[in-house]
Amino acid sequence: MRKIYLDYNATTPIHPEVIEEIKPFITERFGNPSSIHWAGREVKKYIEEAREKVARLINADPMEIVFTSSGTEADNFAIKGTVETFKEKGNHIITTSVEHPAVLNTCKYLEKCGYRVTFLGVDSYGMLDLDELKSAITDKTILISVMFANNETGTIFPIEEIGNIARQKGIIFHCDAVQAAGKVPIDVKKLNVDLLAISGHKFYAPKGIGSLYIRRGVKLRPLIHGGHQEKNRRAGTENVIGIVALGKACEIALRDMEKESQRILGLRRRLEEGILKTIKDVTINGHPESRIPNTTNISFHYIEGESLILNLDLEGIAASTGSACTSGTLEPSHVLMAMGIDPVVAQGSVRFSLGKWNTEEDIDRVLEILPGIVERLRSMSPLYRRNK
Ligand code: PLP
């Protein structure tokens, strides 16, 4: 059976050029970058090259890049590091209700530790209101943490405007750019962000490598204590293979972004238009314009997203729902709920996230299979029969 992968926001395959780049580090280049002899020095040089490449992707200076084990660690470092550093100044954090758990649960944890957290709401497109953000700021606000692009809907937040507000008020601004990096241009200087997290496995590097941009002059208390790696900002012997891979993935992303994002946007439109044309009672969730090119989140009314995913899987098509399965109970997605979508409709939502190896044939195959599955599931749905 032909396999079609439409879940690139969950993770991506490793790019063949990245695989080539890391091969010598799996075989002969084994040194510990902290060692002063030839084996260490050789590896250290490649780490610094990778740092330059990561910096170039987001228009940072290489010394502003700290390698981490993941996007999750980068978010934790940014948030916990900031509140630890600025706890004398205040105890208030502003974030949104649609963040990834890496940010959301870190903020909820800090709430338990005595910090006050404002979770800003969003409108039906998943967009936040800048006036609401402004009026949430108090003289105790020490951190604003807002994601660049939402992982479930793809909606892009007005990061530059938020950056300007934060800078004017002298508040640290962290941006979780895990779903944006490699997909849309990011310029940390223009955006006025102080901290920005990215993750390798979302754009063709392996899992288990990320980085945090820390603007020059911003001093964060480290999250992980130990050796002097990463200029005392993140202890632990470096994940050399991951770092080299992340550097290469950033180089490729910068090189291919313009062409690839246009191509992928074309595929997404083909998919959305095809679905709207052939299936009744569907709605597209997320912002119509301000959205990363590869992501579409679609509610198929009267059916369950999980059943749709399982049926697509039987046909070799990998996608995901907007809902998370927690300890056996099917919870509707917190993102779609925050957008005010009816919980029953939210349960029928599916995220298709496209990437480098998708073709028009993939999309056409989905469009061939999907209407039949939806029709079959609806024919078994009491909800559908009641409403029709
Ligand atoms: N932030 C966002 C928006 C994400 O989508 C993800 C992963 O899905 C993360 C953070 C966490 O990144 P990682 O998987 O590298 O820990």
Burial string for 155-192 (b: 16+ CB within 10 Å, else e) reads bbbbbeebbebbeeeebbbbbbbbbbbbbbebebeebb
Kindly tell me if the per-residue pLDDT of 362 is higher than 50: yes
Q: Is 175 a catalytic residue?
A: no
Instruction: Give how far Cα 64 sits from Cα of 1, 218, 286, 354, 366, Å.
Output: 46, 9, 32, 31, 43
- Assigned token pair, 387: 């409403």
Q: Please tell me the predicted confidence (pLDDT) of residue 386.
A: 78
Average of pLDDT values for 346-356? Answer: 97
Please tell me the pTM assigned to this model.
0.97
Average of pLDDT values for 34-45? Answer: 96
The confidence band for 323, taking pLDDT boundaries of 50, 70 and 90, is low
Helices (H), the chain: 16-26, 38-58, 71-85, 101-112, 130-136, 159-169, 188-191, 229-232, 240-278, 305-314, 334-338, 343-347, 360-379, 382-387
The confidence band for 387, taking pLDDT boundaries of 50, 70 and 90, is confident
Cβ of 354 less than 6 Å from ligand 1: no
Helices (H), 113-239: 130-136, 159-169, 188-191, 229-232
Relative to the CA of 208, which ligand 1 atom is closest?
15
Classify 348 as helix, strand or coil.
Answer: coil
Kindly tell me if the per-residue pLDDT of 328 is higher than 80: no
Cβ of 145 less than 6 Å from ligand 1: no
Q: Please tell me the predicted confidence (pLDDT) of residue 222.
A: 96
Express each pLDDT in 112-165 by its tens digit: 999 999 999 999 999 999 999 999 999 999 999 999 999 999 999 999 999 999
Cβ of 200 less than 6 Å from ligand 1: no
Kindly tell me if the per-residue pLDDT of 326 is higher than 90: no
- Percent of the chain exceeding pLDDT 90 equals 95
CA of 139 to the centre of ligand 1 (A): 30
Classify 350 as helix, strand or coil.
Answer: strand
Question: Ligand 1 pocket check: which of 70, 98, 157, 202 to mutate, most ligand atoms within 8 Å of Cβ?
Answer: 202
Kindly tell me if the per-residue pLDDT of 327 is higher than 50: no
Tally the C-alpha atoms within 13 A of residue 81's C-alpha that lie toward its C-beta. Answer: 26
The confidence band for 322, taking pLDDT boundaries of 50, 70 and 90, is low
Q: Which of 55, 57, 60, 126 is nearest to 96 (CA)?
A: 126
Kindly tell me if the per-residue pLDDT of 388 is higher than 80: no
- Assigned token pair, 95: 């974030």
Instruction: Give how far Cα 384 sits from Cα of 114, 216, 304, 378, Å.
Output: 47, 57, 11, 6
Q: Is 170 left (phi over 0), alpha (psi -120 to 50) or beta?
A: left
| First and final C-alpha spacing in the chain | 35
How far apart are alpha carbons 79 and 98 in whole angstroms?
16
Contact 314, 378 (CB under 8 A): no
Q: What is the DSSP string of 76-94?
A: HHHHHHHHHHTTTT--EEE
Query: Whose CA is closest to atom 5 on ligand 1?
Result: 151
Relative to the CA of 209, which ligand 1 atom is closest?
15
Return the amino acid letter for 185.
Answer: P
Return the amino acid letter for 340.
Answer: G
How far apart are alpha carbons 226 and 222 in whole angstroms?
10
Kindly tell me if the per-residue pLDDT of 239 is higher than 50: yes
CA of 375 to the centre of ligand 1 (A): 34
CA of 10 to the centre of ligand 1 (A): 8
Contact 348, 333 (CB under 8 A): no
Kindly tell me if the per-residue pLDDT of 324 is higher than 70: no
Average of pLDDT values for 365-374? Answer: 98
Relative to the CA of 73, which ligand 1 atom is closest?
16
Kindly tell me if the per-residue pLDDT of 329 is higher than 80: no
Express each pLDDT in 2-16 by its tens digit: 999 999 999 999 999
Average of pLDDT values for 374-386? Answer: 89
- Assigned token pair, 92: 């208030």
CA of 102 to the centre of ligand 1 (A): 7
Question: Ligand 1 pocket check: which of 68, 96, 100, 351 to mutate, most ligand atoms within 8 Å of Cβ?
Answer: 100
Classify 46 as helix, strand or coil.
Answer: helix
Express each pLDDT in 282-309 by its tens digit: 999 999 999 999 999 999 999 999 999 9
Q: What is the chain's mean pLDDT, rounded?
A: 96
Express each pLDDT in 240-269 by its tens digit: 999 999 999 999 999 999 999 999 999 999
**Sign, CA torsion 93/96/100/104:** positive
Q: Please tell me the predicted confidence (pLDDT) of residue 110.
A: 98
